[in-house]
Copies of this chain bind each other. A is one copy, B any other.
């Protein structure tokens, strides 16, 4: 059987940085050539980054992406890399569709195959995801032609991301033809348990098609999304041969013995195979491939948050962050993630005690800062609060909110003065029920744990401390921050449990309502207390306006607030009870 060495470039693009992504494509092709790969795969939409949202519709951007493909082909030859077959994802202008009455240059999500300075074949994604965080029907004209190139005597077919997930489509057609390898380039974002679903799917499709599959996914973050890599290769029996480490940039070179191309160089539907090289390479000693272990759930989610924050800062050119340290667990976890993402020298903690702040709040905040080694200062908010209270007659919630807003103004002032990005420290449970002060604790350019329910905040904190013990490093989070009863400390003796149920119950209910979209009756049938269901659903529905103005943050769950769950603000719907 012919041999083929496939390079999977599991790498991190930057949206809009077409020149930079092109330059980095060349670097990774050089690495693949250094590893003697015959073909190298770069991720979906590599040259533009992903997702690019409405940039896809801008003609100047489409043209720049097309120019970058040509330029890359040229640069590869200039760098003596003309021999390696390069598969790269990019935004394309469709010439074919132009003839069918669609506007000239209607965009496609495409992969070009480059060899010897030329684009020898091009594939356009057939199946456009338009659910969850995806809006690809808004942007792309679907492709409808398979694409096969013959490389070293092996027929290699292309597919892009969703094409693999949908039954039928290009995968089925290339299987009929007898392709030896299916290469799938991806921009597949992380969410909990997705890596298992991916591995199972890839193995199943390989068995269905009787074709080995090389699956490459990008890494890094773009606004709310984190891409976890998890690139892999399976053989035609669906056996896993190689798997890359999650979340890490790198080139994985994998050797495969593949069936020789069929005699016919034309598919049943008339599509011609693009011939790059008809003849197998001389037999060689294959590399040993590696199957990297998966991270466990909490570790993977923590790592996603760390990368989400790091890339938001790096790609938006923020060097440092500032956040309020309350002594509670949320801000402690965010500070720890920030240190892991950016280094302690780039993290600025601010304690902003009020008259209602307990002693342990102040000491726990200081203790956290000391353990993490971050910059730390105290700004008393009493004078600000007093100035507002002297002038405005406030009581109840209005008075409580003034404290949170004085803190928000303080953090923004420090940010404006010193140039740090402000981090909001709210968790998903609070965001769900509206347990936050808009323009108060909700201020920030980024909200690292907005998709982390409170119970997972505790679990992650315990995990991170245990990890430090294993690493023989300083345990970052004070135990008392983990174990104390949660309180916003906006009035004397206030506890979260005054107005919210136990977080274990609340989070289970929120998971069922927000992530699984169960209605009232289904929630009661699932065992939740009817009165609690009524109360919590109303809180969640009424807090939509706050969520709309909340900063972006990394998605790690199956349904994050934001682009993943889109509800109207004006919404009189209340879940009907059984007696309705």
Binding site for B on A (CB under 8 A): 14-18, 20, 51-55, 57-61, 63-64, 130-131, 135, 137-138, 222-223, 311-312, 315-316, 379-380, 383-384, 386-388, 390-395, 397-398, 401-402, 405-406, 408-410, 412-414, 416-417, 438-439, 443, 445, 517-522, 545, 548-552, 565-576, 580
Contacts and interface: CB of A to CB of B under 8 A. Distances in A.
A568 B15 contact: yes
A521 B60 contact: yes
Contacts of A402: 409, 413
Contact of A135 (B14, B138, B393): B138
A398 B419 CA distance: 10
Contact of A412 (B15, B316, B405, B521): B405
A566 B566 CA distance: 14
A12 B416 CA distance: 45
A16 B59 contact: no
A384 B388 CA distance: 6
B570 A312 contact: yes
10 contacts: A15-B571, A53-B566, A55-B568, A64-B576, A130-B130, A135-B138, A316-B569, A412-B439, A548-B552, A552-B569
Contact of A59 (B59, B379, B517, B573): B517
Contact of A58 (B379, B391, B517): B517
A567 B55 contact: yes
Contacts of A572: 14-17, 20, 315
A398 B416 contact: yes
Nearest to A562: B548
B388 A413 contact: yes
A52 B568 contact: yes
A408 B414 CA distance: 17
Given A388-B409, A568-B53, A570-B15, A576 B60 contact: yes
Contacts of A517: 57-59
Contact of A384 (B387, B545, B552, B573): B387
Given A222-B570, A567-B54, A412 B417 contact: no
A53 B131 contact: no
Given A135-B135, A397-B416, A571 B55 contact: yes
A519 B105 CA distance: 15
Given A15-B571, A135-B566, A388-B409, 13 more contacts: A15-B568, A58-B517, A59-B522, A60-B518, A61-B573, A64-B580, A131-B138, A135-B138, A312-B570, A392-B410, A406-B409, A409-B439, A439-B443
Contacts of A64: 576, 580
Contact of A408 (B316, B380, B439): B439
Contact of A391 (B383, B438, B518): B383
A417 B439 contact: no
A222 B575 CA distance: 20
A244 to B, nearest CB: 24
A178 to B, nearest CB: 28
Contacts of A388: 384, 409-410, 413
A64 B439 CA distance: 36
B445 A545 contact: yes
B392 A413 contact: yes
A126 to B, nearest CB: 15
List the 3 shortest-distance A-B pairs measured between CB atoms, nearest first: A60-B519, A16-B573, A398-B416
Nearest to A14: B572
Contact of A573 (B55, B311, B567): B55
Contacts of A379: 391-392
A414 B401 CA distance: 11
A130 B137 CA distance: 7
Contacts of A20: 572
Contacts of A384: 384, 387-388, 391
B417 A393 contact: yes
A570 B54 contact: no
Nearest to A380: B391
A571 B482 CA distance: 37
A408 B568 CA distance: 25
Nearest to A385: B387
Contact of A15 (B14, B390, B405, B573): B573
A315 to B, nearest CB: 5
A138 B565 CA distance: 11
Contacts of A438: 412
Nearest to A313: B570
A520 B15 CA distance: 18
Most chain B Cβ neighbours within 10 Å, of A135, A311, A410, A416: A416
Given A60-B520, A390-B383, A522-B60, A571 B413 contact: no
A519 B398 CA distance: 47
A417 B389 CA distance: 12
Contacts of A575: 60
A360 B550 CA distance: 36
Contacts of A59: 517, 519, 522
A312 B572 CA distance: 12
A181 to B, nearest CB: 29
A18 B573 contact: yes
A417 B391 contact: no
